Every structure is written in structure tokens, then in C-alpha cells.
A and B are shown apart, each in its own frame.
Chain A
Amino acid sequence: DTEVTQTPKHLVMGMTNKKSLKCEQHMGHRAMYWYKQKAKKPPELMFVYSYEKLSINESVPSRFSPECPNSSLLNLHLHALQPEDSALYLCASSHEKGWTNTEAFFGQGTRLTVV
């Protein structure tokens, strides 16, 4: 099973709403990631979790709040977003540093629209 599952697939939210994106993997990976992808651009790294602890925050605004409740789950809590935050949000997972297999596996993404 090389699947990363993201829910929901599509989300429309107002600028005053609070919502959450969810991500799950069962590959035993201990590194999990959130990426943001705008149209016709490559993914941009937002956060990295390593062994359920936040290890990288790429200077992401505080209206995005990540959470890693356990080794299989990753959440991204959204609050007071702006229309320019509309994008495809991708979750990914991989083995931790030091492993020979360094590839990341991506979910299908959540298409977020902020109105």
C-alpha cells in the first residue's frame, strides 16, 4: 500500500470560517509534509513533521496550523484565510532521513477555494 489519503477533495470556505484538512498514510513513514501548489507552479513546502514533531516551518502564516496526532495522521487547521490562499494542498510522506529510499508519496490533494 503506497497510498496517502487526503480529505476532503474539494473545500470552499469563507474568510471567517475554520476548517481542517486531513491526511492519512499506513506505510510506516515517520516524515510527513504539507505542500501548497498554485496553478502551473511546482509544489511549495509548508511544513515537515518528523516523528510527530514539527521540524520545518517554511515561514508559513499563522492562519495555517499543522498538527500530527500520531504517526499515521496529519492535519492542517485553517482559520481566517485570504482569497490568495486558494490552491491545491498536498500531503506527502516518506521515510525519515538516513533511509536509502528517499522518495515521497503524495496524496491526491485538497482543492481549496477561499471566498
Chain B
Amino acid sequence: GDSVTQMEGPVTLSEEAFLTINCTYTATGYPSLFWYVQYPGEGLQLLLKATKADDKGSNKGFEATYRKETTSFHLEKGSVQVSDSAVYFCALTYRYNFNKFYFGSGTKLNVKP
């Protein structure tokens, strides 16, 4: 079946450190991949997406590349800020399944000044 696995958190970094949050997936077809971010007390915001293999999604300094050969979609940022502290969810969906989303368990990021 379809599933998404994320690295366990929390991840604690100092400001300006490099961030990597690992995400791997199992898919029966050719999914689209997403990163969503959830700030405390809020809903989910789409951070970036990639719809096919080798696509790179990017937004607000965050990047992730759709790697079909390793079934991965790792999130990276070169220099994190305190304001990036949030929970990050990796997710996949298919174009023809009523957009049912498969979410990873979420990774909490704490950035210290």
C-alpha cells in the first residue's frame, strides 16, 4: 500500500544551521509529493510540491527533490531561522484517487536563537 515515513523528531537546531528532514515513501503508482508546515495552533500550509520524478519544489528557502530511484523527498534549508520552528509533514497523493492524502507522522523543528 501507500505510505510516507518521516524521520523522528524533534529536531533542534541553532539559528543559521543547515536543515534536513528525511522523507521516504511507498507508492503503488506515480504520486505527487508535498511538504506541509503547521505552526502552533494553526492549520496546515502548503510549503512546496513536486509532481513528477526529478522535479524540485522550492519555497521560502526550502527545497525538496522528487527522487524516484530512492523513493525520497527530503526537505532541506540552508540557514534556518527561529520563525521556521513548526511541525513539518511530508505527504503524497494521486491525481486520480479523489486526492486522498497520505501523511507522514510529522517532524517537529525547534530552532534556537
Residue among A33, A102, A104, A106 with most chain B CB within 10 A: A102
Query: Are the C-beta atoms of A31 and B96 separated by less than 8 Å?
Result: no
Min distance, Cβ A11 to any Cβ of chain B, angstroms: 14
Q: Residues of A contacting B97 with CB < 8 Å? A: 97
Query: Are the C-beta atoms of B95 and A99 separated by less than 8 Å?
Result: yes
Q: Residues of A contacting B46 with CB < 8 Å? A: 103-105
Q: Across the two chains, which residue of chain A brings its CB closest to B46?
A: A103
- Tally of contact residues, A, Cβ under 8 A: 32
Contact of B49 among A88, A103, A111 (CB under 8 A): A103
Contact of B95 among A41, A42, A97 (CB under 8 A): A97
Query: Are the C-beta atoms of B99 and A94 separated by less than 8 Å?
Result: yes
Tell me if B43 is interfacial: C-beta within 8 Å of chain A.
Answer: yes
Residue ranges of B at the interface with A (Cβ–Cβ < 8 Å): 32, 34, 36, 41-46, 49, 51, 89, 93-101, 103-106
Residue ranges of A at the interface with B (Cβ–Cβ < 8 Å): 4, 6, 31, 33, 40-43, 45, 48, 50, 55-56, 88, 90, 92, 94-100, 102-109, 111
